[in-house]
Structure 1
């Protein structure tokens, strides 16, 4: 999943330093390399799940395959202390003695630790797509993440793999109880999710807290162990562990969530929390890596929405849609029977097949605009039914670094009406190629990037690039025979501008959930269900929703500068090489990299 975590370099002096410092040569500074290696190892030991997802639970870290991360109060305190210690070690490095690329590496890693320290100063909550005030919600918590992790990420090929699975299943119960204790801690300091967030979490917990015979974590190992010729006993052992440890822990968490629900308020924003007014700017900066204030982000979103709405209006008129507001015309298009897949398992399979066809179609065109493509395979899947009630509308998961697992794009098809055909392609390009999976895959396979850079990321960069990728898909002709698809692309661009408005609206300007949902419905014709799931996501991940359009503006701004300077000599491949070369970086650093490149061409 996404690991997105920043304050930092600024001004022309920093840009000049980037341009003037020599490139990394064969003599990399051993102290920095060793420090990065130490930090990676510490990170893997803290997150066995991350080690498995990356395919790094091997060799000296093979024991991690049987573990889950420590979610206890002691584990959280240990992680906070480790972050502070890592920051101290990083700040001791003499930046001026490093080559240009090493400086960028150091700056990026420093940014992650400074950001983490700032977030951890608020001793509550956890994380899902970014800093979250709520350790358990519809998007966060072991109850919903571990079953999918064990089923899709923990590979079973040998008896040792199956034994490790059982150990992780045992740890699953402990992790749930530890998070329930964290919920109690947070409630004690006045941090409780809104009532509607608890409703979603309770619904999903209820679907997870089922008898052993119906539990995904039991059925998964029973099926896969049998397929590998390991016999039937693993299914029986898993059922016993689940019944004795996991199900009781799930029921305890479910009971406590219902207790919290009795007195939970309906206020959507973090402003309602103790120190909430302080927390939001920290979360906004941590996720976007932009230094803009909530007020500035809100105005930026309003301005961009106005421009994009006018553009969408023009495209709608070209297609003969002339009556009503932009939102009303898009809402009517959402109801077009020719654009809807049946709301059945078969219909949803058709939608996924269409998405995989779009992924293959654009992959064939990418060599025309990129010098290098990632070596991994990619595919689109449906969000598992047991988590679709609260899951994001669509999201991406990176491949294993060794290629043993493909990069995955997930669509939430709880209601097929939320995903008419004209909206699917642009999301495939965003989450898949040339979006997240391309830039992430290039970073993972980049031999010049230290491992610590490959496995960390910044939402402002990652989401900004993915939104630029949607624009690029249009520019290379993916909608030449699909004009309604272009409407979907522009509609989602407008959606990202409105995210800036809605996120700051709820968390800074005290908008209600209903007010936020209504903005999406009226402005873009969103279905109420889609809009509600998105708004609920922003409630538990404050700031992250603003990453997309803010990041996009930096990528496009750098390209526009180069075009203005070079005119007909502008080389799109060279631009892509320049902004992708260093992997994910904070937006301030991306701007400096871009300015240095434009100055050099």
Structure 2
């Protein structure tokens, strides 16, 4: 359940998206007014807005990759080479940007700009930290893949076909230099990330296949252009194949030597990464403890439902004394109800409009009927990371482009693996998944985010808010009557919600406490009632990522707490739809920041008279 514009790692976005050296601060000819006055605050806010926009525009100009994922294509023909020179430039710009931001006292800024200031400072500080401390550019080869941006350019009709093909032709010219830099960067990689890079890089070849050559042949490009384009495709494929071959050599070397870097990042790096990536009022250790407490509470609620359902489904079977055993037996019985293997993608397509209708009928939040969600099979270059479903959304500069719901097909699974997968995504859980990924989860939230008046909040999205909203949406829909309050749906929701809770427990326990694979399997299979395929995929995922798995529970807990606090504060004035629309209107800001913004606004602006 990863949800960003395609699959670009955060550290690489930080490096290529926010690194700009040699750019001068913007000239800001705004007259000062006395500080502390309304006019003075407005002047400071205007000055800050100009600096913030300047920083973002310079970053986007230097980073074609970030621009493309944001829906801005004027520099898309240039491929960034991730070499040492580029890293030095990135570092210099991040430090320069922080100096520009330090000229403002956040307390003198209005609440919206104060949050933008916080987001920018966090992003530039984390950019430095990722490069100097975390250094995954040196040990994670899966950071390097040219396919995502090329595929996006080919599949997004932001210009006519010939113009886009010419952009891609220019962009791929330096693919050999790109992978040469990647090889030079990697030192002491983890075995797990080498394996992932091999899988995804092989998938990258599918972007440069006969389908692209066919489009070139059918295009308006002249014969010379077509010949040059095909030559560059040959060179790009050779560079990718050479990169895969080099990685396979690393794979063999690590297997023979046994000296691969551990995928566990340890307590110090984990706490720092959690602080930069999640931006929560929790520490990582505090969030872990809340997740443990929530796991125990969920077990209690699920047990009550199991005892209620036992006579209906398992009347002739003795009820075990152990609550986890009896919950597991009920879930196992109910999980047999699922779609057929060949109907999985079609069933998701069928459910999406039904969810939109429920939201509309119950007036839960605003939707955009002109922007349908496109369900598709996950592109090959995005597979292999352990997530079976994800959303690829357009950036704020191209908000009318398609939003894709990526669903990994079950083709590679054996019959046994497919059955395990389908039992995990059974009749009830599949509906919750579609709420999470689609409506009113990620798809709906990202549509609102692209309408945010703050470019900072739209571009510098907080993952915990994005993931947390999707998890919150699941519970909210059931609270509002989706699933007809069936105890079976609530039991399976509990099982699904345990994934969120155990994600947070698992991630911290593996990377900080040294949890073993056997312990992880016990947590996932026995305590979270996951099927073997799901548990195996999660164990793979936790070895390939850090902190991101905590974002679901952190954001969910903070959003739910905020809603309940607003209910208590506003009493009868509280309106759920208004709360949702208002919450989403702030873009992808951290939940703690949104809470500040909502409280800073007069109640009449949040809840106008009907």
TM-score class, shorter: 0.7 to 0.9
Does residue 1:428 correspond to 2:434, yes or no? yes
Q: 1:252 to 1:301 in 2, by over 3 A?
A: same
CA offset at residue 481 of structure 1?
Answer: 7.8
Q: 1:218 to 1:92 in 2, by over 3 A?
A: same
Cα distance between partner residues in 2 of 1:224 and 1:396: 26
CA offset at residue 392 of structure 1?
Answer: 1.8
3-state SS, counterpart of residue 122 of structure 1: helix
3-state SS, counterpart of residue 294 of structure 2: helix
Of the three residues 106, 124, 134, the one matched with 2:135 is 124
Unaligned runs of 5+ in 2: 15-35, 320-324
Does residue 1:438 correspond to 2:463, yes or no? no
Q: 1:365 to 1:23 in 2, by over 3 A?
A: farther
Question: What is the TM-score with the length of structure 2 in the denominator?
Answer: 0.80
**Quick check: 1:280–1:542 contact (8 Å CA) kept in 2?**
yes
CA offset at residue 542 of structure 1?
Answer: 0.9
CA offset at residue 49 of structure 1?
Answer: 2.5
CA offset at residue 510 of structure 1?
Answer: 0.6
CA offset at residue 483 of structure 1?
Answer: 5.9
Q: 1:299 to 1:536 in 2, by over 3 A?
A: same
1:192-271 mapped onto 2 (5 Å cutoff): 192-193=189-190, 195-208=191-204, 215-225=206-216, 230=221, 237-260=228-251, 261-262=254-255, 263=257, 269-271=263-265
Quote the residue 1:56 is aligned against: 72
Q: How many residues align?
A: 551
Does residue 1:412 correspond to 2:408, yes or no? yes
Cα distance between partner residues in 2 of 1:466 and 1:305: 19
Q: 1:592 to 1:434 in 2, by over 3 A?
A: same
CA offset at residue 350 of structure 1?
Answer: 2.0
Does residue 1:67 correspond to 2:75, yes or no? no
CA offset at residue 123 of structure 1?
Answer: 5.5
Cα distance between partner residues in 1 of 2:528 and 2:507: 16
**Per-residue displacement from partner, 1:531-557 (whole Å, max 9, x unpaired)?**
222332232321111111111111111
Q: 1:563 to 1:37 in 2, by over 3 A?
A: closer
CA RMSD of aligned residues (A): 3.5
Of the three residues 563, 576, 580, the one matched with 1:576 is 580
Quote the residue 2:4 is aligned against: 2
Quote the residue 1:180 is aligned against: 183
Of the three residues 358, 376, 381, the one matched with 1:381 is 376
Does residue 1:283 correspond to 2:273, yes or no? yes
Does residue 1:354 correspond to 2:350, yes or no? yes
Moved more, 555-564 or 579-588: 579-588
Quote the residue 2:50 is aligned against: 34
Q: 1:582 to 1:387 in 2, by over 3 A?
A: closer
Q: Bigger relative contact order, structure 1 or 2, given CA contacts below 8 A and separation 6+?
A: 1
CA offset at residue 386 of structure 1?
Answer: 5.3
**Quick check: 2:280–2:592 contact (8 Å CA) kept in 1?**
yes
Cα distance between partner residues in 2 of 1:530 and 1:24: 56
Cα distance between partner residues in 1 of 2:152 and 2:42: 39
CA offset at residue 2 of structure 1?
Answer: 2.2
Quote the residue 1:550 is aligned against: 554
**Per-residue displacement from partner, 1:269-313 (whole Å, max 9, x unpaired)?**
424xxxx44211111122221253443222111111111222233
Of the three residues 304, 310, 315, the one matched with 2:305 is 315
CA offset at residue 468 of structure 1?
Answer: 0.8
**Per-residue displacement from partner, 1:107-139 (whole Å, max 9, x unpaired)?**
23223223333333315214xxxxxx84323xx
1:81-230 mapped onto 2 (5 Å cutoff): 81-122=92-133, 124-126=135-137, 134-137=139-142, 140-142=143-145, 145-146=148-149, 148-153=151-156, 157-184=160-187, 187=188, 192-193=189-190, 195-208=191-204, 215-225=206-216, 230=221
3-state SS, counterpart of residue 216 of structure 1: helix
Cα distance between partner residues in 1 of 2:230 and 2:146: 17
**Per-residue displacement from partner, 1:173-229 (whole Å, max 9, x unpaired)?**
332332222213xx2xxxx22x344334334444545xxxxx432334334445655
Cα distance between partner residues in 2 of 1:239 and 1:356: 40
Quote the residue 1:130 is aligned against: none
Of the three residues 40, 45, 51, the one matched with 2:61 is 45
3-state SS, counterpart of residue 209 of structure 2: helix
CA offset at residue 435 of structure 1?
Answer: 1.8
Does residue 1:456 correspond to 2:491, yes or no? no
**Quick check: 1:125–1:135 contact (8 Å CA) kept in 2?**
yes
Cα distance between partner residues in 2 of 1:388 and 1:358: 28
Quote the residue 1:10 is aligned against: none
| Higher Cα radius of gyration | 2
Unaligned runs of 5+ in 1: 7-19, 127-132, 210-214
Quote the residue 1:129 is aligned against: none
**Quick check: 1:268–1:506 contact (8 Å CA) kept in 2?**
no
